[in-house]
Amino acid sequence: MHLSVLYRGRLSSCNYDCGYCPFAKTYDTRAALRRDAADLARFVDWAAAQTTGLSILFTPWGEGLVRRHYRDAIARLSHLPHLRRVAIQTNLCVGMRWLDEVDRDKLALWCTYHPSQVSRDAFVARCRELDRRGVRHSVGMVAMHEHLDEIEALRAQLPAATPLWLNAYDERPADYYDDAQIERLQTIDPHFRYNLEPAPSLGAPCLTGESVISVNGDGDVRRCHFVAAPLGNLYDGSFAAHLRARACPNARCDCYIGYAHRSDLPFQRDYAGGVLERIPAMLGAGAIGGAASARIAAAR
């Protein structure tokens, strides 16, 4: 058995101030940070005590890597013999020295570029440093109108094998993207339309609740972040009796960390070995990035 765990604790603070994000420049109290650190330590202890295979993705509301307890947790988890992958969503704002303590064969980073918060050159330099250190990573952006040229410029600067994924702008009106813009964005991310126009989910087969679970700071287990019904608790083991194949109960799922686990969509195949960190299968990563870079260079 292999279990993938999506962990989202109490952390909600972020050092960035993106206009489209509800957590921009929010602050956790010291008490909240202490509680988050204690919750995280408990979770890491649980993971260390397991004997079956694990993969873990941290999906904090805020920025986790600016907090020492997340960096330390990732380092410890990466050295567990039964852990296949530990990954975290991050804006990649922190330095790289902490990576010296991590087993980089098991680490992956899901990195988001925010043009209003950091220069492209600085962000790309960090990505190249990850490459130099051998750290698996994907890069992504929110595809806002004002950033379309920036998306193409970023694709051209990133190493060809670095996958660049795109999320549709959440607050868009119905006609926000025209056909030409969608074609531009699909040149960068061939899976963009799955995020832009989510397929109906109700009744669709999904691995969440079977081999994928969501866990909060209290250890409450749900099948995913987007289904409220509890399956039990991680720490008393009550969730395990409820793991089984099941269909999605929601009308639609418009977030990658949800729909990527649907077996009727291509992500389990196209992202084999990298679903949690949003990295296409090895051949796909280089081919997608290289083809997009070539087309953009030719257009210029």
What is residue 289's predicted lDDT score, i.e. its pLDDT?
A: 40
How far is Cα of residue 205 from the mean position of the Cα atoms in its chain? 21
Task: State the average pLDDT over residues 16-26.
Answer: 70
The C-alpha atoms of residue 234 and residue 68 are separated, in whole angstroms, by 24
CATH 3.20.20 fits 2-299, yes or no: yes
The C-alpha atoms of residue 222 and residue 233 are separated, in whole angstroms, by 9
pLDDT in tens, 54-64: 999 999 998 99
The overall average pLDDT reported for the chain is 91
| Burial of 108 per CB tally in 10 Å (0-12, 13-18, 19+) | buried
Q: Rounded to whole angstroms, what are the CA distances from 14 to 32, 117, 249?
A: 14, 12, 31
**Among candidate residues 222, 219, 213, the one with its CA nearest the CA of residue 234:** 219
> In the chain, what are the domain boundaries?
2-299
- Which H or E run includes 71? helix 68-78
The C-alpha atoms of residue 51 and residue 105 are separated, in whole angstroms, by 20
| Burial of 119 per CB tally in 10 Å (0-12, 13-18, 19+) | exposed
**Among candidate residues 69, 37, 52, the one with its CA nearest the CA of residue 5:** 52
pLDDT in tens, 85-107: 999 999 999 999 999 999 999 99
**Among candidate residues 257, 18, 53, 300, the one with its CA nearest the CA of residue 138:** 257
pLDDT in tens, 251-284: 999 999 999 999 999 999 999 999 999 999 863 3
Are the CB atoms for 63 and 13 separated by under 8 Å?
A: yes
248 has a pLDDT exceeding 80: yes
Task: Give the list of residues 6+ apart from residue 24 with CB closer than 8 angstroms, or none.
Answer: 14, 16, 17, 18
pLDDT in tens, 173-189: 989 999 999 999 999 99
pLDDT band at 13 (very low <50, low <70, confident <90, very high): confident
- Which H or E run includes 129? helix 120-133
